[in-house]
Structure 1
Amino acid sequence: MGAGGPASELIMFIVAVLVAGSVAGGLAYVTNDIAGGITDRGAMLADSLRTDFAIINDPQNIPVSGTGPYTYTFYIKNIGKMKIPFTSDAVQVFIDGTLIPPANLTFTDVDGNPITSLNPYEVGQIQVTLGTALSAETHRIVVVLENGKKRSLIFEI
């Protein structure tokens, strides 16, 4: 009868150590997962802060060519620190809230040569081709990059 007390206490101690080890392991896993998520989110935020652009057109004088279809030219300047993709797959354009189909967009440098990206401080052109002319009033263009960064310009025709 004397050996039963210490044996049960030893078993209870071993069980307590196992439970404490399991809890500590679970907390370590959760803490590591949270730290990884914070690292990933920080990297995405840093990329977002280094990516920036501006629509640099004169809002009173938007270049237009053609008599149907009509091609409107908008100038985009990369004012960030990172190269930005400059293709119809990576950039969406809205005029007055309507998404312009990728087939109606042409991405070029200022000399008219096709390009796929804009380096920092470089200027590119987005040529928007529409079947009908925009009415002689105020319009709004919104340009959205693949990372969600967007800029808008209110312009007149």
Structure 2
Amino acid sequence: MAAGGPASELIMFIVAVLVAGSVAGALAYVTTDIAHGMNDRGAMLADQLRTDFAIINDPTNIPVAGTGPYNYTFYVKNIGKTSIPFTSSAIQVFIDGGIIPPANLTFTDVNGNSITTLNPYEVGVITVTLGNQLTTGTHKILIVLENGKKRSLVFET
């Protein structure tokens, strides 16, 4: 029986080392998973911080052309550090809570040339074509970029 004591202690030691190794492995996996999540979230946040824009219209004087359909002109300035995709597939426009179909949006520079990106500090033009004229009064436009950054403007017609 004297040999049973050291053998059982050796078995208990091996079991303790295996349990400690398993716990350490699980903690390493969880720590790595958290670190990757923080890295991904940080990259997404950095992208949102580098991307910024402003709607620079005079809210009391929105340019409108046509007698049906009506073309409303909104000026957007890229005030961020990165280029913004400037197309109907990358930008959604809402007026008074209703989404404007992509076919009713035109994206140009201030000279009327069609563009697909808005570089830093450039001004772009979004022309919204509506079948009916907006009623006289206060309205709200909301512009949402593909990364979720949004800006709104309350304007009068």
What TM-score does the superposition give when structure 2 sets the normalisation length?
Answer: 0.98
Q: Measure how far apart 1:39 and its partner are.
A: 1.0
Partner letter of residue 54 of structure 2?
A: A
Distance 1:58 1:48 in 2: 26
Letter in 2 for 1:27: L
SS in 1 for 2:72: strand
Query: What is the alpha-carbon distance in structure 1 between the residues aligned to residue 135 and residue 79 of structure 2?
Result: 31
> Which position in structure 2 is the counterpart of 1:115?
115
Using the alignment, how far apart are the partners of 1:90 and 1:45 within structure 2?
19
Shift of 1:3: 1.0
**Deviations for 1:54-95, whole angstroms, at most 9, x for unmatched residues?**
000111111111111111010000000111111111111010
Residue 90 (structure 1) aligns with: 90
Taking the TM superposition and a 5 Å limit, the aligned residue runs for 1:60-79 are 60-79=60-79
> What residue in structure 1 maps to residue 43 of structure 2?
43
Kindly report structure 1 stretches of 4+ aligned residues shifted beyond 2 Å: none
Question: Structure 1 stretches of 5 or more lacking a match?
Answer: none
Residue-by-residue CA offset, 1:11-70 (whole Å, 9 max, x unaligned): 110011001000000000100110111111111111111110000011111111111111
User: How far apart are the structure 1 equivalents of 2:154 and 2:24?
Assistant: 57
Cα distance in 2, alignment partners of residues 59 and 49 from structure 1: 26
- Structure 2 unpaired stretches of 5+: none
Q: What letter is aligned with 1:58?
A: D
Identity within the alignment, %: 80
**RMSD between aligned alpha carbons?**
0.7
Do structure 1's residue 102 and structure 2's residue 102 form an aligned pair?
Answer: yes
Q: Does the residue aligned with 1:125 lie in a helix, a strand or coil?
A: strand
CA distance in 1, matches of 2:57, 2:155: 9
Where does 1:122-137 land on structure 2 (aligned, <5 Å)? Answer: 122-137=122-137
* Matched length: 157
**Separation in 1, partners of 2:2, 2:60:** 99
Amino acid at match of 2:74: F
- Residue in 2 aligned with 1:34? 34
* Whole-angstrom CA distance in 1 between matches of 2:131 and 2:24: 66
